[in-house]
Amino acid sequence: MKRNKILIPAFVCLLSLFVLLSGTQAAFAYETVSVNIPVNCLEVYGNRTHTYDLRMESADEESPEPVRDILTMTEDSTGAFEIDLTEPGTYHYSIYEIAGSDADIRYDSRRYNLTVYAENNESGGLVCSIIAYSAGADRKAERIAFQDEVISVETTTASTVMTTASSAASAVTTDTTAATAKQTTSINIVKSILTGDSFPAHAIRLVMLTAAMTAIFAFLFKREQSEEDEKSE
């Protein structure tokens, strides 16, 4: 009997301590906080509507998995990943685009590394803040944004520009060639002034000089012949 009198108060004390500890633990339990992480999918310039597939991954085991790890969005839109936090801590994530199989699209290869800070607030709950860096960059990212590009549009544009430039260069070359030929022709015309009968002037001068020399030679020959005839008489 005396032993029971000792055990019963001890059992009551232990039970009270357990209830007290349970109540204390319940008092310090945090309500689940949902943290939204906004992402932007920019417009893809082309003739069709483009869709982005984004993935969010936990960087370590201490970071809770996102509510949805894949987010499908259309171009020129804003969406958000969501994570649920239940206690203070520092959590790490990464967000990137899942490259598709469209050969006409250049998919954005950027990866964003995120750090989510969960801290106690004055009312005993959690307050969260997010810092994001683009992988390889030293400065904080102002926003998490992705932009794909349509390769065919750029290629066609570049091809058109090259073709136009080539045509322009060809036209310039043709004009230059024509101008050169015209200039050369002009020089030839200057050097060889044509007469009415299409003979060059230097040829006319040569003929005239030959005729004059022939006339002089004939005159001298006739004169010498006359002198010899006079001597013979």
Q: Do 137 and 164 lie in a common domain?
A: no
Give the E-state strand segments of the chain in sequence order. Answer: 33-41, 51-58, 70-74, 77-85, 89-97, 105-106, 111-120, 126-134, 145-146, 149-150
**pLDDT tens profile 33-53:** 999 999 999 999 886 789 999
Q: How far is the C-alpha of 18 from the C-alpha of 15, rounded, in Å?
A: 5
Listed residues 119, 147, 175: the one ending a domain: 147
Q: Determine phi and psi for 107, rounding to 5 degrees.
A: -80, 145
Tens-digit pLDDT profile for residues 177-219: 444 444 433 333 333 334 344 444 455 566 577 777 777 877 7
Are 100 and 114 spatial neighbours (Cβ–Cβ below 8 Å)?
Answer: no
Residue 14 lies in a domain: no
Q: Give percent of the chain above pLDDT 90.
A: 45
**Mean pLDDT for the chain overall:** 75
Per the structure, the count of domains in the chain is 3
DSSP 81: E
Pair 161, 143 in one domain = no
SS3 201: helix
Q: Structural domain of residue 207, as residue ranges? A: 192-228
- Taking alpha carbons only, the member of 206, 203, 182 closest to residue 193 is 203
Residue 104 domain-assigned?
A: yes
**Of the candidates 98, 99, 95, which has an alpha carbon nearest to the alpha carbon of residue 144?**
95
Residue 5 lies in a domain: no
pLDDT at 211: 74
How does residue 166 score in pLDDT terms, banded at 50, 70 and 90? low
- Do residues 82 and 159 both lie within one domain? no
Pair 63, 94 in one domain: yes
- Please tell me the distance from the alpha carbon of residue 72 to that of residue 79, in angstroms, as a whole number: 9
Residue 58 makes CB contacts below 8 A (sequence gap 6+) with 64, 65, 66, 91, 92, 93
Region 24-31: what's the mean pLDDT?
58
* Integer Cα distance of 70 and 79 in angstroms: 11
- Predicted TM-score (pTM) of this structure: 0.56
DSSP labels for 3-66? HHHHHHHHHHHHHHHHHHHHHHHHHTPPPPEEEEEEEEE----SSS--EEEEEEEESSTTSPPP
Same domain, 94 and 106: yes
pLDDT single digits (tens) 40-98: 999 998 867 899 999 999 999 999 999 999 999 999 999 999 999 999 999 999 999 99
